[in-house]
């Protein structure tokens, strides 16, 4: 896990190159490291009933770029953190392909 600095991102953006990131949370929720665990804890407390995965454009603000594709994942009562992590990773594997496809289509236009 790395945070890309504006010094790194600015020349890339100026060159018209898109950078995308996979993040195991919905837009605006649980930015940064440990997102799955934080969502699982919030679910156990009854604060949320779902989380998700997003592929987003990378900007200087961590996990705040425009979402390319998002998929919601319902939390299950009694589910362990490890079970949720496994389900999230399964969603990630498909979503990164779709997010890459959509980004490439956008670049072609």
Which residues are catalytic, by number? Answer: 23
What is d(CA 71, CA 74) in angstroms, rounded to the nearest whole number? Answer: 10
* 70: phi then psi, degrees, rounded to nearest 5: -135, 140
Geometric angle at alpha carbon 88, from 100 and 19, rounded to 5°: 25
Are the beta carbons of 25 and 17 closer than 8 angstroms?
no
């Amino acid at each position: 896990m790395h945070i890309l600095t504006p010094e790194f991102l600015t020349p890339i953006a100026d060159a018209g190159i898109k950078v995308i990131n996979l993040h195991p949370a919905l837009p605006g929720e649980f930015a940064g490291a440990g997102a799955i665990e934080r969502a699982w804890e919030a679910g156990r407390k009854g604060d949320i009933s779902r989380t998700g995965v997003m592929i987003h454009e990378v900007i200087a603000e961590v996990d705040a770029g425009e979402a390319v594709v998002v998929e919601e994942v319902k939390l299950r009562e009694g589910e362990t953190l490890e079970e949720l992590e496994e389900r999230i990773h399964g969603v990630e594997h498909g979503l990164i392909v779709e997010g890459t496809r959509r980004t490439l289509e956008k670049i072609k236009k």
